[in-house]
A and B are shown apart, each in its own frame.
Chain A
Amino acid sequence: MSKKRFAILFDLRRCNGCYACQTACKAEHGIPLGVFRIRVNTFEYGKYPDIKRAFIPTICAQAGKDSPMLKSCRDGSIVLDENGIVRKNRERPSYNPGEIEKIIRSDPYGGAFVHPYEKSIDFCDFCATTRNIGAGEPPACVTTCNTEAIYFGNISDPGSAISRYIRKWDGSIWKGERLHVVRMKAREVPDVNVYYIGLTPEMEAVIEGHKQFDPTFLEVWRWQEAGR
């Protein structure tokens, strides 16, 4: 088996915006109000009665050694662990606001934030601190998704849940449309490990403006603002 590369996939056909993943993550990691490791973006487009609503969960892009945050971090507060997962270094967290800001600014995905109580940087680490990811235990958001919209695993292993799911659907025809497995901004950062089925360029454009530390994305008046 080649090198481990953990990845996550969101099948937007199956996502109904239920927020279970977002809430599970808050519970698993004790994330305070106002900030999110994962969030479910809702956005509406079209005109009555041809109005559509889409749900797009977003997390840290987990770009492995390509990670812009990892590259910009000079004080060792972000590390690449034995499973190739980028995570904050609990032994050496950075409390230097200048350093933290620099790292967050380097993140093109809006996945990182400052933990309001710990005052250090925080972002999705595929639950590497609380679950035994290396041994195949899936993250908290994955196990609770009722409609099975999230898949996780070592994408270098063809037998992993995520690899099997991608093989099953990539390029196939479903309800008259061809499906594609895509990654966000993969052109800019080649090693992005967050995959989607059903992500359109419009959705990507909307999400670009969102940041994990702006909780007002949840408010109903922003749903359609994004789509117009």
Chain B
Amino acid sequence: MSRKFNRRDFLKSSAAMTGSLLFPLNAAALPGPGGDEKRDTGVEHIPSMCLNCTTSCGILVRVKNGRAVKIDGNPLDPNVRGTVCAKGQAALNQLYDPDRITCPLKRVGKRGEHKWKRISWDEALGEIAGRLIRLKEAGKEEEFVFHHGRSKLGSLKKRFCRAYGTPNDLNHTSICSNNLRRGLNSLWGKGIDFDSSDFANTKYILNFGSNFFECHQGGHYISKRAMEGIIENEAKLVTFDIRLSNTAAKSDEWHPLFPGSDGAIALAMGNTILSEGLHDEQFIETWTTTTVEELKAAYRDFTPEWAAKISDVPAADIRRLAKEFAAAAPRCIAFLNRGAHAHSNGFYTARAVYTLNALTGNIGMPGGFQYSIKGKHKEWGIRLNEPQPFPRKPKKKSKVAFPPEYPYSWVKKVGGNNFLYWKNAREKVSVYMGYCIDAAYTWPEGPTITKEVFLDEDIIPFHVAIDAFYSEQTALADIILPDGTFLEKYDHDQWDAYDYVPYVGLRQPVVKPLGEARDVRDILHELAHRIGHGMEKYFPWKDTEAYMKEVFANIPPDEKGVGGFERMKRDGVYVQEDFPANIHPAYRGKKGYEFFKWELPPEKIKDTFSETITLKNGKKVEVLKRKGKKGIAGVIRNGKAYHGFHRMKTGLFEIYQEDIVKAGENARNLDGSKLDGIYSALPTYYPIPGHQEVRVDDEKFILTTFKVNVHTQSRTANQKWLSEIWHYNPMWINREAGKRLRLREGDEVIVTTWRHPYRAFGDKAIPADGSRVGDLRVRVHLTDAIHPKVIAISNHCGHWEYGRTATAMAGKGDIPYRNFTFAKPDRDVDENIWWSEAKGGNGAGYAPNSIMQINPDPVSGQQGWFDNIATIRKV
């Protein structure tokens, strides 16, 4: 595996070789315009972790005289090996955004009127704690909602919510990746909800709707390794996507398809593999909950001809690709992301795509489909300390956090529906605390329904925002608490280890928080102590640094005797080099491949007893259990005890998954009536309501969104080097379709979206009456790079808040709290936003979420972003 020479290695080796002689003095006389210089005098390199997206790359930040001046990748981080993406490079713009919030603010005008006064931390936290105390004393803990977006608080937010006693600890996973996660862990087990396949060693990648070269959680790691596979192994990359993403552009084959038909294609490929006998019989029979016979029957009708009719991908291509894929086994990978699964049929799409890997037996194999070993794994990873005591689950229940309509949504909840639920008075909210979340911009119907809910003080009587930036949602708060940016605070973090050796990382402040900003961890700690009533005993540490010290106490010392938190602060990461020998000495020197086939060492079998499970399809399996313990200790196959898919109750890869059916039987509307979603134990497919009609109607299109490589959903538009690259997002429409509508490049149109024409799944809370969702006025971009029935508007743009860079209001608008900011001005932002309309540019683009209907997957609750039925009218 190649590892590039980079700055840190260079510094290390040069110091070891000749010391400062390598940096001659005359060179130091030529400082760069950024204020840097060659010689590293007065310069520190502080390791941390990036959080400009959720991938959490290890970084090394060059800090000079208390100012962060450059971000590079941390070469010690095994996932990134010293690189960062454009967002990582530009994260300095976030830290030094001249428009960030740097002191606590209290609303003085009407909500949303942008009138603020500066208040002290004492006053701010005093008022919030006072309200939370009153609520607690009244026994109404559930009326406190903690809602977060990109949070790396980990167990701390759970601790905070539990200690307070509210079940309303809400996240954003269901508007993001829930179908992928729930799909995968329905097959592989609890906590195993993201694949991290062996891209570097593969020969064939079947990609359904993932744009890993531009986004995808962990995409930075995949890109690196997939490119290695493509160049060094001449691996073939095949992409199904409605639009030519950069990933599709780098693929050997791009197959445009009708939206929401990925699952049908995956099933048809399974049909080909099974009917042509290309499957791995031994794997299916030994390691899955189904049988070849059962699968053949289940896949019989999913023919390539059937899928071609649904998807527009020719049957011959589906057949050919299925055979190529199977021929490359076990060095092949079938995987997906949002393009394929963020539909209201996406849960089964995820199951169908992942199951292809089981059919060909590539699971856990070198070059195959793999789940990596997370650093924080209880069973075999690095044991991080959880400071004790830890609060128990609250007794209170919530039908917003856990809607009875979606029993299979599990811990990831059904966030896309929250605001609709509150609007419809499903439950009362007294205090809403948002952390790093911008639902008024990022939620489906966010700019309409979410905003409306926040503006209504009867629905949300008190709104606290913890955020570093004046987002669309923060602007609607009553009190704003200025959070630090990720370069100013602590987290313990990691992502799946793509080289299958577990690691953990530390995010640490590289500079002091600007002005009066504070690490959110400190804010929650102080709040817990102010609220008291027993809550404080779950926050016994002195400050966040002391907490982190405890968390990392188990990190072993290196050869110099530096261990624990000190080691983390110095290196930024700790890699568990002895893995997997820590599980069984027989695995010394091996990688984490095929771990379900690892035999259990004798000490892991003692104190176990065996139990035979009989599934409803008749398959029997013998598992090992331990008295008083949930879950299994292992699985018996062919007379031997193995690790198996140890997080599943059967110890097997559960293609046949009974719990889905059981959950479906339990799903209820609020009035107690049953739902009639499709709850199938085996992978299946159903069309999205109204879509087959769109296919044959010249007037109608499917509206989708997409992400580009330099932005995240909502948290990057204020970063000047990124918004310079992508600020204007006209609506993509196929050139021929556009011509039919007599459209030219840059013409203005009104896009109207329409709700699903009928309620297919019986969820009475979600409107499905064919009515209008909304209108959006946009310019068009005619392109050959999109399916003729699809129109697409990228995310990221069209901010109406978030500071001057995001809104391209340079020279015109200003931030309403200008008088109380500690941030320094930035000449670029003051003078040089060249894309602003004032400078003759295109402006800040469009925010499409106002016309993206709330549309949950009936099984998982994942928001179906890409199912919008749309019509277009020229202005």
Q: Judge whether A27 and B70 touch: CB under 8 Å.
A: yes
Q: A29-B32, A137-B10 are in contact. Are A148 and B250 (CB under 8 A)?
A: no
Q: Do B784 and A224 touch across chains, with their CB atoms under 8 A apart?
A: yes
In the complex, per-residue mask of A188-222: 1 if CB is within 8 Å of any chain B CB, else 0: 00000000000000000000000000010011110
Interface residues on B, range: 35 or more
Docked-complex contact B250 and A32, CB < 8 angstroms: no
A131–B31 alpha-carbon span in the complex (Å): 10
B23 contacts the other chain (CB 8 A):
yes
From A17, A20, A28, A131, contact of B83 by CB (8 A): A20
CB neighbors of B among A26-84 (8 A): 26-34, 44, 46-49, 51-55
Q: Which residues of A contact B828 (CB under 8 A)?
A: 32-33
Q: B71 on the interface (CB 8 Å rule)?
A: yes
Q: Which of B70-121 contact A (CB under 8 A)?
A: 70-73, 82-86, 88-90, 92
Contact residues in B for A143 (Cβ distance below 8 Å) = 4-7, 72-73, 82-83
Chain B residues with Cβ below 8 Å from A51 are 244, 784-785
Interface 1/0s, chain A 5-38, versus B by CB < 8 A?
0000000011011111011101111111110000
Which of A29, A48, A140, A148 interacts with B736 by CB under 8 Å? Answer: A48
- Is B71 a contact partner of A132 (Cβ separation < 8 A)? no
B contact set with A: CB distance below 8 Å: 2, 4-7, 10, 14, 22-23, 27, 30-38, 69-73, 82-86, 88-90, 92, 213-214, 220, 223-224, 227-228, 230-231, 234, 244, 246-247, 249-250, 252, 254, 256, 709-710, 720-722, 724-726, 728-730, 734-736, 745-746, 781, 783-786, 788, 827-828, 832-835, 842
A98–B32 CA distance with the chains assembled, in angstroms = 25
- Chain B residues whose C-beta falls within 8 Å of the C-beta of A220 in the assembled complex: 728-730, 781
Main SS at interface, chain A: loop
A103, CB-defined interface residue at 8 Å: no
Least distance between A201 CB and chain B CB atoms (Å): 20
Contact B33 A53 (CB under 8 A): no
What's the nearest-Cβ distance from chain A to residue B742, in Å? 18
Contact residues on A (Cβ < 8 Å of other chain), bracket: 35 or more
Q: Does A138 contact B (CB under 8 A)?
A: yes
CB < 8 Å: which of A22, A131, A146 contacts B38? A131
Residues of B within 8 A of A129 (CB): 30-32, 38
Do A215 and B785 contact each other (CB < 8 Å), given the known contacts A34-B834, A117-B827?
Answer: no
B705 to chain A, nearest CB (A): 14
Residue among B37, B728, B784 facing the most chain A CB atoms (10 A cut-off): B784
Determine if A147 is an interface residue (Cβ-Cβ < 8 Å).
yes
Which of A14, A55, A130, A136 has a CB less than 8 Å from the CB of B231? A14
Q: Which 6 A-B pairs have the closest CB atoms?
A: A30-B34, A53-B249, A147-B227, A23-B89, A48-B784, A23-B86
Report if A104 contacts B (CB, 8 A): no
Q: Within 8 Å CB of B249, what residues of A?
A: 16-17, 52-54
Expressed in whole angstroms, the Cα–Cα distance for A224 and B2 within the complex equals 35
> A161–B17 Cα gap in the complex (Å)?
20
Decide: A224 near B72, CB < 8 A? Known: A33-B724, A49-B256, A138-B5: no
Q: What's the minimum C-beta distance from A154 to chain B, rounded to whole angstroms?
A: 13
**B834 to chain A: which residues have CB within 8 Å?**
33-34, 215
Q: Is the CB of B86 within 8 A of A130?
A: no
Instruction: Compute how far the CA of A90 lies from the CA of B26 in the bound complex, rounded to whole angstroms.
Output: 13
Cβ 8 A contact of B832, one of A22, A23, A116, A174? A116
Look across to chain B and name the residue whose beta carbon is closest to the beta carbon of A145. Answer: B83
Chain B hits for A30, CB < 8 A: 32-35
Question: In the complex, are the beta carbons of A135 and B709 less than 8 A apart?
Answer: no
Bound complex: CA A27 to CA B786 (Å): 34
A175 located at the interface, meaning its Cβ lies under 8 Å from any Cβ of chain B in the complex? yes
The complex places the Cα of A14 from the Cα of B832 at a distance, in Å, of 33
Contact A17 B720 (CB under 8 A): no
Select which of A44, A146, A161 is within 8 A of B5 by beta carbon.
Answer: A161
